Structure 1
C-alpha cells in the first residue's frame, strides 16, 4: 500500500513502519568509540553515546548497569553487541546493548597493522609520490592542540631559526572522539589556502591510545589527498602512527619538524660568508694569475719597446729610398748621355744637316729625287729643297 496526497499515511503508521524495518536488522556487532557515558545514581540503565572513530556520526546506546564495566571511560574504543530499536512515540533511534567489549591494545595494534598493509598495497606509502617541502616557505600551516607544548616547540624553534617565518595555526583536538574529524577539517582548510606552502601536523608524546587518531584511515587518506606537502611530527622518536608513512616528511618530534621546515638563518649566514670568502679568494687568485701573465707579456721586447721595430724598419725604408734615388739619378744621367750621343749621331746623319751646309735636293713634282743629270730633260719642272724652304725651277739645259 502506497501513500498519496489523497490518501496520506498518518504519523503513527509511518513511525510503525520505520520500527518494523529497523527491527529486521536484528542483533549487530558495532565498532565505535565512546563519546560520553551517563551513569545516573539509582538507575539500572546506563546511557552511552557511541561515535564513529572516523566520521562525525553518533548513536545513543542503552545498556544495563552490569553490562557497562566501571573502568570504561570516555574515549574508549569498544565493540558493542546491540539491537537497533525505534521508539515510535518519540521518533528516536537507539541501540540496546547486552554486551560491551573494550578493545584491547593488542587487538588495536593488529587492526592498525592490517590497515597499514592495506594502505601500503594501495600505494599511499610510495616514496615516489612524496614531495619535498620548499627550502624557505612563505607561510607554514600548523595543526596542533591549543596551547600545547608541541605548538610552542614548533613556533619557538622555527622563529629562532628564521625570525621572519609566518605561521597559520589551527587548533584542534589531538585525542578523543573528535580528534579525527577536527584534524581532517583543519587539514582540508589549510590545503585550500594558497598562501600556505607546507603543513605541519604536530602532537606531543602520549600513550598508544592517545595517538590512535593519527593511525585512522580517514586521516591517512586526507593527508594523501593534500596538494600541499605535509610534515608529520607525532609523539616521540619511537612513535610511528600510520600518518607518518603517508606524510611527505616524517619528523621525529615537533622540534625536529621546526628544524626541517625552515633553514637556520645563522647557519645560512655562515655558509654564505664561507661561500663569499671562497669566491673572493678565487677572484683574487684569478686576478693575480692574470696579472702575472700580463706582466710576462708586457716584458717581451715587442711590448716593452713597441717602436723599436718601427724605428728599425723606418731606417731600412730610408736607406732603401736613398739607394733607389741614387739608382734612378744614375740611370737618368746615363740615359741622358746616351740620348745626347744618339742625337748627335742622328743630326750628323740627318739630311737636314747636309742641307744646312749648302746642299740642295732636286725632286720631280711627283717627289722622285734626281740623283744624275741624265734623269732630267730641258723644260722639266723640278722642285729644289733647301735647308730653309723650297724653290720651283725649270731645267734649261
Structure 2
C-alpha cells in the first residue's frame, strides 16, 4: 500500500486513462488536512451525543450568522468536566485540530479544550455588534417606515401555541374584529430559531397581502433571547420590504432586533395595540369629528347669513329702485328746466326777429309802394334792370318797368312835360 501511495504521490497529474483510486484521493486530502494546526473556533452547539459506555462525545457546532455547521469530537471526560453542563444552544469557544476520517471521507474537528461563553462575554459581543450596526445606519430613525393605520393583512412570527401568539391575536381581534392574521410558528430560542425566523420573515415579506410583520416572543433569560440579537436576523429585518414590528420579552428586554425593527413594542400585548386601531375609539373619534364638522358648518352658515343680512340692510340693496327713482326725478326736473330755458330763448329770439322784421318792413320798399309810390326800372346796356334815379339815365322811348305794390306794368319814357289839366 505504501508503494501505491508513493507512486500516486509521484504522479504529476491524472487523466481519464490514468485515474487515481478513491483511497489515493482520500489519503491525499487527509495528508493535507493533518498538516493543519490546531485553531480556536467559536460557534453554537446544536446537538450533543454522549452515549454511555463510549469514550468519545460528538457535537455539532453551528455558525449563528450563517447556515454552516461542522462535526466536533472530544473525549467524553472533557465534555463532563464542563460546569455547568453543556447544553444545546450554548455558545462555546473550543480549541481543536481538523481531522479527516479516511473510511467515510468526512471532516471533523477534534477538540481538546472547550470553554462555555459566559453571560458577560455574550453581552460584550452584543454591545460590539450594536455599535457596528449603529455605525452602518441600521438603527437610524430615517430608514424606519411608518406602520399602516389599518393593515389589510398582518404576518405574525412567534412560537407555536405560545402566550405571545395568544396575546397578539386576542388583543388585536378585540380591538378590530375583522383584522386578518397569517401566523408562522417557529422556534424562538435555541440553535434553530434564527434560520427558522429568517425563512418565515422571507415568506411573509414576499406575500403581497401582508402589510406589516410582527415578531413576538414572551420574556426569558439573556440566553433565551440571544437569537433576537443575531446579526443575520438583524440584517434580514433591515433588508425586508415590509415594515417589521418587534415585540420581544418584557419592557426591560432590549435585544438588537428592537433597534433594527421599524417599530419597537415593549410586549406582545403592546404590539397588538400599536398595529391595529381600536374600533370603539375610532368610532368615537369619527362621531366627535362629525359633531365638530356639523358645528363648524353651522357656525359658517350663521356667519355668512349675518354678513348677507348686513349687506342686504345697506340702502343700495334695501331699496335698490329708490336711488334710480330719485335720479329719474332729478333728470325730469333738469329736463323741464332745459325745456323752459329753450322755449324762453326761442320766444325771446322770435320776438327779436319779429321786431327786426317789422323794422325791416317799415324801412323796405314794399311799405313805400303800399303808400302809393312806385319803383321805375330800366334796362341798361348789359340787359340788367336798374332803378331809375334820374331822367338823364334814359332817353325818350326807352322801355320802363314800373313796379307798384300789387305788381308791375310796362311803360315808355317820354320827356314831354304833361299839361296842367293832366297834372291835376
Whether TM exceeds 0.5 here: the answer is yes
1:18 aligned to which of 17, 29, 38: 29
1:184 lines up with 2:198 in the alignment: yes
Match of 1:170, SS state, is: strand
Q: Give structure 1 stretches of 5+ with no counterpart.
A: none
Residue number in structure 1 paired with 2:67: 56
1:259 aligned to which of 273, 292, 295: 273
Residue number in structure 1 paired with 2:387: 369
2:52 aligned to which of 22, 25, 41: 41
Match of 2:88, SS state, is: coil
Following superposition, the deviation at residue 228 of structure 1 comes to 2.7
1:225 lines up with 2:239 in the alignment: yes
1:68 aligned to which of 59, 64, 79: 79
Distance 1:326 1:298 in 2: 41
Q: 8 Å contact 2:163–2:218 — kept in the other structure?
A: yes
Match of 2:386, SS state, is: coil
Residue number in structure 2 paired with 1:89: 103
Task: Provide Cα deviations, 1:349-383, integer angstroms capped at 9, x if missing partner.
Answer: 33234345552332223333211222222233444
1:116 lines up with 2:130 in the alignment: yes
1:140 aligned to which of 138, 145, 154: 154
Shifted more, 307-316 versus 74-83: the winner is 307-316
Q: What is the total number of aligned residue pairs between the two structures?
A: 397
Q: 8 Å contact 1:364–1:370 — kept in the other structure?
A: no
Residue number in structure 1 paired with 2:5: none
Q: 8 Å contact 1:360–1:387 — kept in the other structure?
A: no
After TM superposition, the score normalised by the length of structure 1 is 0.90
1:345 lines up with 2:348 in the alignment: no
Shifted more, 208-217 versus 78-87: the winner is 78-87
Following superposition, the deviation at residue 133 of structure 1 comes to 2.3
Q: Describe the shift of the 1:118–1:305 C-alpha distance in structure 2 as closer, same or farther (beyond 3 A).
A: closer
Distance 2:103 2:316 in 1: 119
Following superposition, the deviation at residue 392 of structure 1 comes to 5.0
Distance 1:91 1:228 in 2: 44
Q: Describe the shift of the 1:328–1:249 C-alpha distance in structure 2 as closer, same or farther (beyond 3 A).
A: same
1:395 aligned to which of 413, 417, 420: 413
Distance 1:305 1:134 in 2: 60
Distance 2:31 2:203 in 1: 42
Q: 8 Å contact 2:158–2:184 — kept in the other structure?
A: yes
Following superposition, the deviation at residue 239 of structure 1 comes to 0.7
Task: Provide Cα deviations, 1:161-210, integer angstroms capped at 9, x if missing partner.
Answer: 23333333222211111111111222233333344332222111111111
Q: 8 Å contact 2:378–2:399 — kept in the other structure?
A: no
Distance 2:65 2:400 in 1: 156
Q: 8 Å contact 2:375–2:387 — kept in the other structure?
A: no
Equivalent residues in 2 for 1:141-180 (5 A)? 141-180=155-194
Following superposition, the deviation at residue 107 of structure 1 comes to 1.9
Distance 2:344 2:64 in 1: 126
Residue number in structure 2 paired with 1:2: 13
Q: Give structure 2 stretches of 5+ with no counterpart.
A: 1-11, 416-424
Q: Describe the shift of the 1:9–1:387 C-alpha distance in structure 2 as closer, same or farther (beyond 3 A).
A: farther
Match of 1:67, SS state, is: helix
Task: Provide Cα deviations, 1:129-168, integer angstroms capped at 9, x if missing partner.
Answer: 3333233333332222222221222222223223333333
Q: 8 Å contact 1:54–1:181 — kept in the other structure?
A: no
User: Over aligned residue pairs, what C-alpha RMSD do you find?
Assistant: 2.5
Q: Describe the shift of the 1:13–1:308 C-alpha distance in structure 2 as closer, same or farther (beyond 3 A).
A: same
Shifted more, 243-252 versus 126-135: the winner is 126-135
Task: Provide Cα deviations, 1:29-73, integer angstroms capped at 9, x if missing partner.
Answer: 222222222232322222222222222222222222211128222
2:375 aligned to which of 349, 355, 360: 360
